[in-house]
Amino acid sequence: MPPLERFVLHRLWALDAEVRRAYTGYEFSSVLRQVTDFCNADLSALYFDVRKDSLYCDRPDSVKRRAARTVMDLVFERLTAWLSPLMPFTTDEAWTTRFPGSAPNAIRAIPETPAEWENAAEAERWSAVEQVVGAVTEKLEERRRDKEIGSALEAAPVVDLSPELSAAFDGLDAAEVFRTSGATLKVETGATSVVFVRAAGLKCERCWRILPEVQPETRLCLRCEDAVTDWDSRHEH
């Protein structure tokens, strides 16, 4: 699993323990609050916002896209079970729409969450990463308010980071995490600082990233060229 997927699995592991504890104590409002916070912060604001690009644009057989679909399946499986006592009709509709003819969602037990999903290192990493994402987003919002850009994909920011924060990005694509077309990370000893740089190149007509590799003839980046070629090869008549 890529680092982001490992983080979401860790959050599922941690939240599962809290949900079970709250139900044991009949703390129904605590269940709803914690699950809602998870959906808003971890899923909507981070995971889905980052991974939608991979789901839309990567080849179907890419590891990242397959990992995302696997984790989304595990999230769906648990959300429908965790919320079933509180939202029985909504969760049953969601479950039976996806699995027509299956037994009612209300009689499902909460699935066991593997202990190996616990990953304190990824939790610590993403706590640091989100600090940097917040600084980058703030800088881009300034440019958006000033009408200098319309989308984060028009940017390729340069970010100065401490050695500790820089280490948190090991193995990550900073541009993907920032939701920008490009990004440059520099290791400095001072506080985090962000310099706005406009993305250079042409816009890919498929993923909308602005990259130097996009050619006028194809209007596609290399990733999208590969994905389109793969699709065509699978659907030749």
Check which CATH number belongs to the domain holding 16 and give it. 1.10.730.20
Cα distance between the two ends of the chain: 35
Q: Of the candidates 117, 138, 165, which is a domain's last residue?
A: 117
Domain co-membership, 110 together with 11: yes
Per the listing, tokens 């995302």 go with 68
**Whether residue 173 sits in one domain with residue 104:** no
Q: Are residues 206 and 111 in the same domain?
A: no
Give the pLDDT of residue 236: 78
The reply to whether 108 and 128 lie within a common domain is no
Residue 135 and residue 74 share a domain: no
- 28 within 8 A of 86, measured Cβ to Cβ: yes
- 32/90 same-domain check: yes
Across 81-112, b (16+ Cβ under 10 Å) vs e yields: bbbbeebeeebbebbeeeeeeeeebeebebee
Tens digit of each residue's pLDDT, the chain (237 residues) = 999 999 999 999 999 999 999 999 999 999 999 999 999 999 999 999 999 999 999 999 999 999 999 999 999 999 999 999 999 999 999 999 999 999 999 999 999 999 999 999 999 999 999 999 999 999 999 999 999 999 999 999 999 999 999 999 999 999 999 999 999 999 988 889 999 999 999 999 999 999 999 999 999 999 999 999 999 998 876
Domain boundary, last residue among 96, 117, 138: 117
**CATH code, domain with 170:** 3.30.2320.20
The reply to whether 20 and 107 lie within a common domain is yes
Query: pTM to 2 decimals?
Result: 0.93
CB atoms within 10 A of CB 13: 17
The answer on 92 and 30 residing in a single domain is yes
Residue for token pair 């600082």: 193
- Domain match, 142 and 110 both: no
In the three-class reduction of DSSP (H, G, I as helix; E, B as strand; rest coil), residue 232 is classed as helix
Domain count, the chain: 3
Q: Which domain holds residue 148?
A: 120-195
Q: Are residues 113 and 124 in the same domain?
A: no
